[in-house]
């Protein structure tokens, strides 16, 4: 086997939502595999801690504190990303929000907040880096979808709509950009313990119910994401695009 198949070393990556949860773990994974990684989120203190932790492990990381819902500043944030190590060839859209509102609590504002961060931002953010990927003839966009890209949950109206959209956005990105060597895929995680899923993991009944709905019989552990992320970020996925990779222990297989 060609040893460069899963190689991401010296690639530049940017990960949104890198201050916690899945984005933080993906940043660490890519950095430990040798990529130069720019961590992006709003909370600078958390990002600084992540940067220190990953640097101590020998990784090369930069930091951009940014609110991606600030539309007028997204281009400027992207310039700051590029200032760290040059233009990224791997873009991971992991910033997200799940407000878990019942149908009667959803407001126009909360609906917009969810759709904007989860669905709109991944397109406008990634688009900033596409020209330089096209120039190099190689790139990766990795969106973070969800079980709710294909399954419905109570209190998941806006979130489910946004994540269903992320799945289709991923396919449209592939159609648009893959002729230029940019593979666009999504990881759809099952239930992983993060701040976003605290309402599930703080409730033992719900946590066990979600585990029981998988084929494997347990919820996700962060380590379950290592293989999928390295696969989708590396040349191993050179002929894979527009796909939603469910990393959910078989939840969606049942």
Ligand X SMILES: NC(=O)c1ccc[n+]([C@@H]2O[C@H](COP(=O)([O-])OP(=O)(O)OC[C@H]3O[C@@H](n4cnc5c(N)ncnc54)[C@H](OP(=O)(O)O)[C@@H]3O)[C@@H](O)[C@H]2O)c1
Q: Which residues are at the interface with ligand X (CB under 6 A)?
A: 16-23, 41-43, 46, 66-69, 94-98, 117, 144, 146, 189, 191-192, 194-197
Question: Nearer to ligand X by C-beta: 146 or 241?
Answer: 146
Closest by CA position to 40, among listed 54, 51, 31, 56? 51
Task: Using DSSP, state whether 94 is helix, strand or coil.
Answer: coil
Token digits for 122? Answer: 């991944």
For the bound state, the minimum distance from the C-beta of residue 179 to ligand X, rounded and expressed in Å, comes to 27
Question: Nearer to ligand X by C-beta: 70 or 135?
Answer: 70
For the bound state, the minimum distance from the C-beta of residue 93 to ligand X, rounded and expressed in Å, comes to 7
For the bound state, the minimum distance from the C-beta of residue 137 to ligand X, rounded and expressed in Å, comes to 29
Token digits for 210? Answer: 């979600």
* DSSP state, residue 100: -
For the bound state, the minimum distance from the C-beta of residue 125 to ligand X, rounded and expressed in Å, comes to 9
Question: Nearer to ligand X by C-beta: 180 or 218?
Answer: 218
Question: Nearer to ligand X by C-beta: 134 or 226?
Answer: 226
Task: Verify whether residue 103 is a known catalytic residue.
Answer: no
Pairing status of strand 12-16 against strand 60-65: unpaired
Q: Which residues of 11-40 are buried (b: 16+ CB within 10 A; e: fewer)?
A: bbbbbbbbbbbbbbbbbbbbbbbebbbbbb
- Of the candidates 77, 103, 159, 239, the residue annotated as catalytic is 159
Rounded CA-CA distance 192/190 in Å is: 6
Q: Where are the alpha helices (DSSP H) in 72-180?
A: 74-85, 108-115, 121-136, 157-177
State the catalytic residues.
159
């Amino acid at each position: 086997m060609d040893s460069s198949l899963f190689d991401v070393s010296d690639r530049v990556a940017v990960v949104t939502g890198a201050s916690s949860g899945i984005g933080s773990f993906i940043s660490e994974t890519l950095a430990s595999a040798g990529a130069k990684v720019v961590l992006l989120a709003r909370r600078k203190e958390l990002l600084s801690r992540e940067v220190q932790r990953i640097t101590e492990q020998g990784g090369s990381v930069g930091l951009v504190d940014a609110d991606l819902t600030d539309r007028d500043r997204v281009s400027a944030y992207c310039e700051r990303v590029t200032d760290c190590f040059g233009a990224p060839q791997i873009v991971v859209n992991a910033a997200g929000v799940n407000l878990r509102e019942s149908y009667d609590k959803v407001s126009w504002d909360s609906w917009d907040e969810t759709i904007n961060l989860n669905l709109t931002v991944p397109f406008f953010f990634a688009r900033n880096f596409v020209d330089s990927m096209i120039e190099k003839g190689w790139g990766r966009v990795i969106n973070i979808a969800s079980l709710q890209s294909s399954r419905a949950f109570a209190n998941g109206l806006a979130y489910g709509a946004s994540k269903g959209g992320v799945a289709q956005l991923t396919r449209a990105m592939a159609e648009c950009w893959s002729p230029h060597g940019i593979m666009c895929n999504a990881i759809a995680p099952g239930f992983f313990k993060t701040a976003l899923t605290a309402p599930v993991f703080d409730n033992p009944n719900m946590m066990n119910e979600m585990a029981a709905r998988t084929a494997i019989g347990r919820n996700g552990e962060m380590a379950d994401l290592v293989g999928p992320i390295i696969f989708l970020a590396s040349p191993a996925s050179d002929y894979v695009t527009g796909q939603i990779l469910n990393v959910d222990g078989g939840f969606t297989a049942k």
